[in-house]
């Protein structure tokens, strides 16, 4: 692959990675510790990821358990969860925090599936924008003693890359939608 196309491949991969992390945070009726990935706790004045202040386990299919390393952090972790968009009220017994995920209704599953499709479409738009930027850059190369055939070849390479990445995004969306719709 041409080095000039490689830079656009890296940009596309960043978009796909962002989508993957976004999709991992969507809960599908089962407890998924990744829903806590973006949460920060006030730990001695600095925002710290929850994973760094306690042990996170999934003892049952629909429950996440957080055991903070310091008991004083229980209130802070609860506050972070309450202020987030997870939509689950934490319960604690003085030493651990439990998050019980309710069973998803059919309506909520369809809503989540629609959300997944929208995130996928947004990612595809970003990929196409990257392709457009690449094609514009390649057209400018024509003014710098690069043959039209070479420019055409770069554009074709970029198009093949775009097609491959879009197919990968479609696969990710289909997998996540299937996971959400499975009762």
CATH number of the domain located at residue range(s) 33-100 in this protein: 3.30.1360.40
**Rounded Cα distance, 125 and 24, in Å:** 20
pLDDT at residue 133 tops 90: yes
Class of domain 3-24+105-181: mainly alpha
For CATH 1.10.132.20, the residue range(s) in the chain are 3-24+105-181
Query: pLDDT tens for residues 57-73?
Result: 888 888 889 999 888 88
Question: Residue 5: what pLDDT?
Answer: 86
Split at pLDDT 50, 70, 90, the class of 29 is low
For 116, counting Cβ atoms within 10 Å of its Cβ (0-12 exposed, 13-18 middle, 19+ buried), the class is buried
Angle at 49 between CA 64 and CA 111, to 5 degrees: 55
Interval 73-85: pLDDT, tens: 888 888 888 888 7
What DSSP assignment string belongs to 31-62?
Answer: --GGGGTT-EEEETTEEEEGGGTEEEEEEETT
Average pLDDT along the chain: 87
Of residues 62 and 49, more confidence is placed in 49
For residues 117-127, average pLDDT: 94
Of the candidates 2, 13, 3, the residue with the CA atom closest to the CA atom of residue 126: 13
- Residue ranges of the chain that CATH labels 3.30.1360.40: 33-100
């Amino acid at each position: 692959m041409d080095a000039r196309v490689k830079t656009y491949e890296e940009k596309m991969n960043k978009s796909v990675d962002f989508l993957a992390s976004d999709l991992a945070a969507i809960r599908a009726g089962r407890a998924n510790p990744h829903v806590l990935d973006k949460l920060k706790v006030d730990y001695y004045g600095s925002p710290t990821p929850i994973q760094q202040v306690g042990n996170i386990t999934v003892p049952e299919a629909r429950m996440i358990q957080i055991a903070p390393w310091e008991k004083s952090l229980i209130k802070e972790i609860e506050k972070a969860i309450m202020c987030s968009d997870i939509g689950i009220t934490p319960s604690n017994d003085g030493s651990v925090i439990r998050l019980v995920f309710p069973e998803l209704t059919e309506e909520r599953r369809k809503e989540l599936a629609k959300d997944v499709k929208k995130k996928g479409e947004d990612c595809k738009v970003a990929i196409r924008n990257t392709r457009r930027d690449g094609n514009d850059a390649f057209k400018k190369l024509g003014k710098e003693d690069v043959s039209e055939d070479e420019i055409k070849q770069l554009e074709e390479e970029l198009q093949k890359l775009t097609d491959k990445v879009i197919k990968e995004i479609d696969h990710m969306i289909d997998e996540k939608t299937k996971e959400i719709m499975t009762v």
